[in-house]
A and B are shown apart, each in its own frame.
Chain A
Amino acid sequence: MRLTTEEEAMLAGKEGPAAAKAMEILFALGEIYGAEQLVPVVSVQVAGVSYGNLGQAGLDFLCEWADQGARVVVPATLNPAGMDLKAWQEMGIPEDYARRQLEIIGAYQAMGVTINCSCTPYLAGNVPEFGQHVAWSESSAVSYANSVLGARTNREGGPSALAAAITGRTPAYGLHLERNRQAGLVVEVNCRLTSAADYSALGYIVGQTAKDRVPYFRFNSGPQPGLDELKALGAAMAASGAVALYHVEGVTPEARSRDVLAGGAAIVAIESAEEGYRALDGTSQAVDLVWIGCPHASLAEIEHAADQLHGRHLEAELWVTTAREVLDAATARGLTSRIEACGGRVVADACLIGAPLGEMGIGAVATNSSKAAFYLRNHSHLQVRFGTLAQCIEAALKGKWPV
């Protein structure tokens, strides 16, 4: 890999030890993955925020890097934390957890990262344009940036994303190069999908099939997916597989701007999304908590939840997780108070993966996201129900899964 004079100087420590370490990380990754050069990035999304995932090791490292003088030079936003940074007490978060979580946030703040904790930065002001290079972590956001916005990013880990923010650069390999953005798998969807959960279930199936291929969807039945459906589809494929880019014929920008189908692409036909529900839906009758907002809910999705509640009183907990900016918009439109009046909660900043749910007495969770279901089952060892928003709201009203 070739570095410019300026990059060489940074590697040699001319801009301090923190920038040198960042450049060392990017140089090593560029060598490993065969990049020829670094490219400038317009924004960064940093993963590795919740204390539950990062642990003490990650906290120590972030503090040391910040103390060495690490500062970001391009706009950088954060992944969700393990709690609402303001209303964590109301959530029932243990104090010790909260203290460490706030230390992590403090380290990022010292580096100049925007404290906007969300897995949907594109709904909260960090919106790259078509063709721009970015360095994002958080697999669902990576998928959205590449596929729905047409920006270009690999799936970064926390430290490599932060290194990109400190240097303003990322090694040009993988999805930064047009030749790696061709689709190798055509997915003919022949059934009619009617909810974001249906797209999430479909994504779970396709993510497992796609392996390292870029999927190219044709929705042959019914309406084309909107932004919320694309968000659900991409998040699911990035969780069940390693899909960081997909195209939808006639819908996503790259598929509309050039021929993205590689010669000899394989074809699969999907006749039903049922298999995706079956793979993740558990058997627990009782539901303690209903979680909407994985990835973080859009304003439209919050409104949808409020409409379905219809002012009725909830038996189970209902949490709608979202970006702080979207929460503020929902509050301004009266949606937050409508959900709270029923006994539900709209939570900013947080992801429930990495939140101390066990310590909070939660045993069974229902969700309309296959990604949430997948991680709750595998990492948090909770009982999980996976269904549509309508089923989830019904479960929140009754405290048990609808038959």
Chain B
Amino acid sequence: MNILDIITDPNTRWILLGTMFLGLSSGVIGSFAYLRKQSLLGDTLAHAALPGICVAFMLTGVKSTSYFLIGAALAGLVAVFLISVLTRYSKIKQDAALGIVLSSFFGFGIVMLTQIQQSEYGNQSGLDTFLFGQTASMVMSDVYMMMTVSFILIFTCTVFFKEFKLLSFDPGFAKGLGLPVVFLDYFIMMLIVAAVVIGIQAVGVVLMASLLITPAVSARYWTERLHIMVILSGIFGMLSGVSGTLISTSVNDLPTGPLIVLSATAWFFFSMLFAPKRGVLSSIWRRVSAKKKYSLEQDRRKGSHSS
């Protein structure tokens, strides 16, 4: 298929729209997660969504994105609660607590998933597509869901931009000003869960974290202003969604989710190399030119001495 065919195909257009909004919203909320040094938390919440989805399916018996959203959100809440209990009442540090919760929730999810596959629900449920995502399974209502969650996410990040910024930079000062820091903490986590839930259908729980982290890290290379970083991160996420979907549609049998993630990684490498100021090439260039300038000056000094 060439590009024109892809864009005129109504089914692909819906999927494109969905992955676009997914990239946009996870890029935006991912910026805050990254700056708050909670990248691993995104990964944990994504993996923790799996048992939540399985339980939601077992209870309702229907494959509905909104039920899954509720299930994943509740599982996310439980995960967050466990992490805070582990770090508060034991000597376990946060990174270890995240690791424990991530793997145990995911293990639990896989067990339930297998159970569902072998039970009377049968393979019809197709829940295993949530592991690595499958855009082909997306229907119009899923895309509407993605758009709605996306709008809510972006709207919230715009309205509370000032608070999120202060919370990310200096939570102690934020608390001193009287901001409800604990509540906002949970609030941001819930927004991450929302981004995860709309993403797992397309990208899957295993790879979802990269859509939260990679665009944000890429965006950080290009700017020193937070609002520009958040916007850029959204754009990088969106571009990754679009290019991943287009590549997978034009090359047969390549999975969309992993391709979206790889697109995000490509943007990351591009940013790391070519970004002005913070990029690798720019800092090598600066070092070389400083060296050259210094040695030139030395030569000149020597020249003036000998004459």
Asked if A and B are interacting partners, one says no
Report which B residues bind A (CB closer than 8 A): none
Report which A residues bind B (CB closer than 8 A): none
